[in-house]
Structure 1
Amino acid sequence: MNGTRHKAAATWLALLGGTLGLHRFYLHGLKDRWGWVFPVPTLLGLAGMLRMEELGQDDRLAWVLIPWLGVSLVAALLGGIVYGLMPDERWNARFNAGRPAASGGWAAVIGVVLCLLFGGTALMATIAFSAQRYFESQAGQ
């Protein structure tokens, strides 16, 4: 890895572009396999949302696809929380090859708070949506 990696940048990339794996690419480069995994559930979830908009709420495939977007979002925001809360010494040892770098400061703290806010909301919405669709399908039988 060349250059210095900053905690605040990784946290904000996870917040703003984590569903596309941008935080992983920032930290590990374009060869990171996990970074390339992130767009798959994101695109599946978006396809489910488009299906539901086009075909209505009775489309069962959309019920299966939409939660994948929530899973992708929650995973990305969890990564942002982990990055933002990582101690500076451990961060520098892992991502900056032992070179000292400035801590994330308030930018990392605000990023973590927003990741917690949006991540908790996405997690609860995903669980609620999935549970609602499951119970509706059971009641219809």
Structure 2
Amino acid sequence: MSSVRTTHKNKTAATFLALTLGWGGVHRMLLGGARDPLALLHLGAVAATLVLLALLPRANIFYPLLPIIVSAIAGCIEALVIGLMPDEQFDARYNVGSSRQSDSQWPLALLLVTTMLVGTTVLIATMSRLFDLLYTGGAYG
């Protein structure tokens, strides 16, 4: 008889990874493994950015970086989803075979506030720059 051992996944660590390295899908690899489809989608955005940087060396830098910026915004949204998920639901989804239970503390709240600050700033800045480039041709910077 073999018992299934699962490492306990930390909700605060997953939220931190989604905030800092969400553009690369590292948090998805922690939670779902290296074959997670959303992690591969994040990696595809990184690859698309590298290809666009190589193919469009004279283009405005904003356009080739757009896939990774969108991936970073998605990472911030995923950080909020993971961080705001109740501990019981997180354990039922990601810690099925673990004997430990998640117990989120105040660092998670600080991460969520930071995520809101960073995520909204990046989103508003991206929208502003995109509209500037599309409607004025970059006349404002």
> Structure 1-normalised TM-score?
0.80
* Higher helix fraction (1 or 2): 1
Secondary structure of 1:102 counterpart: coil
Distance 1:50 1:12 in 2: 31
Query: 1:11–1:83: 8 Å Cα contact kept in structure 2?
Result: yes
Q: Is the 8 A contact 1:5 1:27 kept in 2?
A: yes
Aligned CA RMSD, in angstroms, stands at 2.7
Task: Answer whether contact 1:5 1:95 (CA < 8 A) is retained.
Answer: yes
The 1:48–1:130 alpha-carbon spacing in structure 2 relative to 1, beyond 3 Å, is farther
Aligned to 1:103: 103
Question: What's the offset of the Cα at 1:45?
Answer: 4.1
Question: For 1:10 and 1:129, how far apart are their aligned partners in 2?
Answer: 30
Instruction: Read off the aligned partner of 1:104 and give its amino acid letter.
Output: S
The offset of 1:50, in angstroms, is: 8.1
Q: Per the alignment, in what secondary structure is the counterpart of residue 133 of structure 2?
A: helix
**Same amino acid, percent of matched pairs:** 28
Of residues 2, 13, 17 in structure 2, which corresponds to 1:13? Answer: 17
Matching residue's letter, 1:17: L
Structure 2 counterparts to residues 1-141 of structure 1, below 5 A: 2-45=6-49, 55=58, 59=59, 62-97=61-96, 99-137=99-137
Code of the aligned partner of 1:133: L
**Unaligned stretches of 5+ residues in structure 1:** none
Q: Please state how far the C-alpha of 1:39 moved relative to its aligned partner.
A: 2.3
Q: How many residues align?
A: 134
- Which amino acid counterpart does residue 126 of structure 1 have in structure 2? T
Secondary structure of residue in 2 paired with 1:133: helix
Bigger Cα displacement from structure 2, 93-102 vs 81-90: 93-102
